[in-house]
Structure 1
Amino acid sequence: MEFEMKRMQAFFPASLEIQEELLKAGFRVPYDKESGRRTPIPVVVSSRVERKLRRNRLLKARDFESDGKFALVPGERALLELELTERGFLVLRPKPIEYHLEEMGFVSVPPRVWGTWASFSLPFSAYDELVGFLGEFRDDNGNGFYTASRGSGGRIEVYAYKGRKGKDLGIPVFGYALGLHGLTLAEEYLMEKAKENGVPEERLRYLRLGLKKRRETKAGLKVGIVWENGRPVEITLKLATTEPRVRIQGLYGELVGKSRGELARTDEWYMVVHAGDFMAALEAVGRAFGDKSY
């Protein structure tokens, strides 16, 4: 089963592991005070609707318009493939077909201490098809599942989590892989930055810029529904990690943050959860505002 996503964002600047890998290779990440050179780790973004952002935040795109101050990136395509295994696991495979690279904008909390570091959005019209696809995993009791919400203005996001201690994670994730390998724009960007930083080109082939779940990584997937003005508009999926903590030596001192996984050379993107957990989470958020009558 495959769906076209509304939006996809993978916040690789949240990974101290990737930052350390680039620093060891000779890149001045993310900013060199002496030379003024900037080498931000890119956020990989795909949005079905056009996206307007400050020109200096757009690191790389195939097609965009700019007036010098702002850039307008046209709508892009990203897919989410879902596969059921014989053992009852659900494998979700994000596929960025068209995408661009952004620099992280200013935030008050450093991304390395966030929980969520990758997010995927489907149109709400996919809800019934998803529930039908996972129907054999329905648990009418829904034991152990809870919901939480947050809102701003007319927009409310409701997500499900498993177990009272799972609020920061959602449902358990048993494996994942995400990375910058295999992304042509990322390869071009790093080639340009290697020249700026005086990094030998051949060194790029040895970099590990992908992340896989380690045994000790505490990872979860928040499954939610976003409501706008009283109507559900999208299904949101957010990959989060909370433990263990890692320390690296940055350009200007020690940095501490949440681990995003084990470095790997991978161009495969996937997340693995129990199909029953995903189904229960979907139905929990579907019932959040009463009977589903939309």
Structure 2
Amino acid sequence: MELEPLRMQVFFPASLEIQEELLKAGFRVPYDKESGRKTPIPVVVSSREERRIRRSRLLKARDFESDGKFAMLSGEKTSIEFELTERGFLVLRPKPIEYHLEEMGFVSVPPRVWGTWASFSLPFSAYDELVNFLADFRNDDGNGFYTASRGSGGRIEVYAYKGRKGKDLGIPVFGYSLGLHGLTLAEEYFLERARENGVPEERLRYIKLGLRKRRETKAGLKVGLIWENGRPVEITLKLSTTEPRVRIQGLYGELVGKSRGELARTEGWYIVVHAGDFITALETVGRAFGGKPY
């Protein structure tokens, strides 16, 4: 089964592993105070709706309009394939089709200490289709699952967690692969930065800009619903990692943050969870306000 998300955001700047790999290759990440040269690690973004961002934050895009201060990007397209295995695992395969690269804007908390570093939002209209697709893996015993919510104004986000040990994680993730390899815009971006920074272009063939789950990585997928003015409007999926912690030597001192996985030259994106966990989490958030979410 394949669905088209409303939005996708993968925050590769949250990875100290990728930052260290680029530093070792000779890039000035994210910013060199002396020369003024910078190589911010891109956030990969795809949005079905038109998007307006500061021109200075846009690193690379195929088509956009700009008034000098802001860039206006037209709607983009990506997809997520949901694949079931014989052993009861659910493999999510995000496929960026139309996307752009953004520089991380200023945030009070550095992304290297965030839990969530990849998010995908689906229209709520996909809820029944997902539930029917996974119906054979339904477990009526929802014990061990609980929800947490947060809201502001007319917007409420509700997420499901499996067990108290899974706080801030969601449901267990058994494997994942996300990376900048194979993304044409990312390849063009790093080629341009290599020329600006005096990094030999052939070095790009050997650097690893992808992440795979290690055995010791504590990872989870938060499955949630977003409500606006009393109605569910989106299904949201957020990939999080919390342990182990890693240390690297940055341009201006040691940096400490959460591991995002093992460096690898990734070929495709995927996230692996138990199908039973996914449908239980989805139905748990669906019942958060009593009954079905419609």
CA–CA separation in structure 2 for the residues paired with 1:64 and 1:172: 38
Indicate if the aligned counterparts of 1:114 and 1:258 stay in contact, CA closer than 8 A: yes
Equivalent residues in 2 for 1:1-294 (5 A)? Answer: 1-292=1-292, 294=294
CA–CA separation in structure 1 for the residues paired with 2:153 and 2:38: 36
CA–CA separation in structure 1 for the residues paired with 2:72 and 2:102: 12
Deviations 1:56-92 (A, max 9, x none): 0000000001000000110000101000000000000
Amino acid at match of 2:122: L
Deviations 1:226-282 (A, max 9, x none): 001110000000000000000000000000000000000012100000000001000
Indicate if the aligned counterparts of 1:180 and 1:267 stay in contact, CA closer than 8 A: no
Amino acid at match of 2:182: G
CA–CA separation in structure 1 for the residues paired with 2:40 and 2:2: 32
CA–CA separation in structure 1 for the residues paired with 2:73 and 2:162: 37
Indicate if the aligned counterparts of 2:232 and 2:293 stay in contact, CA closer than 8 A: no
DSSP-derived class of the 1:207 partner: coil
Amino acid at match of 1:87: R
TM-score by length of 1: 0.99
TM-score by length of 2: 0.99
CA–CA separation in structure 2 for the residues paired with 1:129 and 1:209: 34
Indicate if the aligned counterparts of 1:49 and 1:75 stay in contact, CA closer than 8 A: yes
For structure 2, list consecutive stretches of 5 or more residues without a partner in the other structure: none
Deviations 1:10-69 (A, max 9, x none): 000000000000000000000000011121000000000011000000000000010000
Deviations 1:87-119 (A, max 9, x none): 000000001100000000000000000000000
Equivalenced residues, count: 294
DSSP-derived class of the 1:165 partner: helix
CA-CA distance at 1:293 after TM superposition = 5.4
Indicate if the aligned counterparts of 2:286 and 2:293 stay in contact, CA closer than 8 A: no
CA–CA separation in structure 2 for the residues paired with 1:11 and 1:86: 32
CA–CA separation in structure 2 for the residues paired with 1:268 and 1:293: 33
CA–CA separation in structure 2 for the residues paired with 1:293 and 1:41: 38
Amino acid at match of 1:144: G
DSSP-derived class of the 2:165 partner: coil
Amino acid at match of 1:42: P
Indicate if the aligned counterparts of 1:3 and 1:79 stay in contact, CA closer than 8 A: yes
CA–CA separation in structure 1 for the residues paired with 2:16 and 2:75: 30
CA-CA distance at 1:217 after TM superposition = 0.1
Instruction: State the superposition RMSD in angstroms.
Output: 0.6
Amino acid at match of 2:160: A
DSSP-derived class of the 1:195 partner: helix
Amino acid at match of 2:41: I
Percent of aligned pairs with the same amino acid? 86
Runs of 4+, deviation exceeding 3 Å: none
Change (3 A) 1:293 1:27: closer
